[in-house]
Each structure stands twice: as structure tokens, then as C-alpha cells.
Amino acid sequence: MELSGKTVFFVSRPSFVSRQRAARLAARARAKMAAGKPGAGSIAVHGLGGALGRLAKGTLLAEWDRLARRRIHQMSEIGFLRAVGLMPTSVPVQLIAAANFAALSGLDDATVQSLVITGALEPEDGQFPFRDVRLGREVARLLVIGYPLVGVAEAVALMRRHEGAEISAGEDEIAVRVREARIELSGQTLLPFDDVPADLNAVLDRAEAAAEEGDAAATWRLLEIAVMARPRDAVIRYNLGCVLTNLSRPDEAETHFRIAASLDPSLAEAHFNIAHVRRLKNDAAGERDALEQAVRADPEYLDALIALARWHIARDEFAPVRPLLEQIDKIGIPESQADFVHRAKLLCDLAERR
């Protein structure tokens, strides 16, 4: 689905990207990220985390129907990642009609639709890639032997996110194996903590609600629990680091940002926030190194490019600034930074005439 010129709303919590990163990716695709209720003609993205929670509550399909009646375009988080270029575009060799897919896979219509909303299945104009028939049959097999739909949907969506991944079904849990690493899933994981929801997705939904209400202490507490339950989730680590930064706990924040960056090297925001902590600690070299890592992770990260240019200008180092400004020009100069970029170019011109 084309995002350019559209207004995009995440109507439930994402799992693969932070909301800040989602907004930046949408802007890069020339779309506008907004909060609140989507209107007709806009795009509603069902973040995997929140979609799983609604699936568990039995409200997911009703939410999809409600948005469809308002003529709102809808996509899964996986679909969004493909639309913004964070995942390669899938080119199916052969497509089959939805009715035939249901018959061949052994899945009923409601289950198929639930899997579409979570991104476990990716139809194209109402048709499904023929290669997904085998995947559908495996999903049907797992459901028949007793695995919950929530856990299966999460596993398949995660498998889609990581090329070459595969599902590993044990006696009482499903995990996804990516190369040699095994990722534990939250689906129906019960958490042995008092006074919090028993399911990890519910904990994360409550943490997001607390963040929206401005309750940083509650957000921190809930995200700490989530990290204990799923320590290898880069997005949860990153979000916890942001909360700890807001609580003026930079040492702990940096630890989580560094772990997040090691778990997902493409998470440029984690490097960018490490630079912020290094700046607070007057570590100029550490700040520069982190900004350079952010730019390597994402060469189109405008905030990091501008921050790195400012770092060099503050030290009268103009030679490294010119290529940064050229990269900013290619991406497009944001209006809020136009004055800085103009002055930076003048300074580079003056330095080159010396």
C-alpha cells in the first residue's frame, strides 16, 4: 500500500519498532504520522503487540470491521514495515483467491482474517501467495493440537520479520529460531508478579497507557517487568531506556540503549540516545562515536546527521561537515533546520577559503 501523502495512525502498540521510529519511517515515505482517531481515507496500522492483546480479548475482528465501515485503509505492522522499506517487498509467484486459500489451508475465515491483521499472513488485493498454503496448514496443525491462536500468530509474524527464521514448537510453548538464537514469545506467557497483568502483552499495553498519561514511574515499573520477561526484545529495552532518561537516570538508560543496539544493530535511535547520554556526561568523543554509529545504522536519519554536523562545527572541524550537509540535501532539508543548514554551508565555504 502506498503511504505517500497519507496520514498514518498506529491504532495499537507496535512490536518491531518504537512509535518514534515509526513516525520517522512514515515521514521518510512522505506520510504523516498522527495520534488520535483516524478519519476516512487515512491508514490505520495494527501494531502487532496491541493486535495480539485484542485477539486474546476477542475484540480484534470487531475493531477491523469498525474501521472498515469508516472507510479507513488498514494494514498490519509487517505491511507497514514493507511500505516504508524496512522489509523487502514480497513478490509472490502465484496468487490464489481467499476462498480457495481457506479450503486448502484448513483455516476458517475468522482465523485467516486474524492472521492477516497480525501480519502472519499477507494477502495482495484479496488474494494469497500460493506458497503460504503450506504455512497455513502448519498453523492449522498447531491450532488443532492445542496451541493458542495468539501465540501462533505472534510466532508466524516474527518469523516473517526475520528472513530465514523458523518456528520451534515445544511441549507447551512456541518460539522462533533466528539463525542460532531462540526468541521467546509473549503470547500466553504468564508472569509471576503481583499487582500486574498476568500476560506480557497486557503489561506492555498498560505501560503504553501509563506513558500516554504521563506517569513515568508506572511506565518504568511495567517496562522493567517486561524486560525481565523478554530480555532480548530490542524495542522494549529501547522504550525502557527512554523512560529512564526522562526519570534522570542516565546510567541505567544507557545500559538499556546499548543492549537494544546490540540486539538490533539497525536501531539507530538507540545509538542516538546513547549520544545524548554521553553529551550529558561531557564525553565529547563518546557522543561523536554514538552519532556516527547512528548514521551508519541509518544513513537517512536526519536528526543524527544534523547533530553530528553540529558536533563538528562546535569544534571548528568543517571538513567532515560538508559530506553530512550533502547527505541532508539528498534527503530533504526540514523547515525547522533550514536556517542551521544554510549557516553551516556558509561556515564551510568560509573555512575552505582560508
Domains recognised in the chain with CATH numbers:
7-83 (3.40.50.10190), 95-184 (1.10.1660), 200-353 (1.25.40.10)
Average pLDDT over residues 158-177: 72
pLDDT of residue 289: 98
Lay out the sheet containing 43-46: strands in order across. 32-34, 7-12, 43-46, 73-76
pLDDT digits (tens, 9 = 90+) for 146-157: 888 998 999 899
Give the pLDDT band (50/70/90) at residue 171: low
Q: Is the pLDDT of residue 169 over 80?
A: no
Give the pLDDT band (50/70/90) at residue 15: very high
Q: Is the pLDDT of residue 65 over 80?
A: yes
Give the pLDDT band (50/70/90) at residue 182: low
Average pLDDT over residues 321-328: 95
Give the pLDDT band (50/70/90) at residue 179: low
What the block records as the C-alpha cell of 121 is 499472513
d(CA 285, CA 295): 15
pLDDT of residue 192: 45
Write down the pTM of the prediction. 0.85
pLDDT of residue 181: 54
Give the pLDDT band (50/70/90) at residue 335: confident
Q: C-alpha distances in angstroms, 291 versus 21, 62, 193, 259, 301?
A: 16, 44, 38, 16, 10
Q: Is the pLDDT of residue 34 over 70?
A: yes
pLDDT of residue 178: 59
Give the pLDDT band (50/70/90) at residue 113: very high
Q: Is the pLDDT of residue 299 over 50?
A: yes
Q: What percent of the chain is modeled with pLDDT above 90?
A: 67
User: 66-70, 184-188, 230-234: which has the minimum mean pLDDT?
Assistant: 184-188
d(CA 101, CA 123): 10
Let me know: does 151 contact 173? Beta carbons within 8 Å. Answer: yes
d(CA 250, CA 243): 10
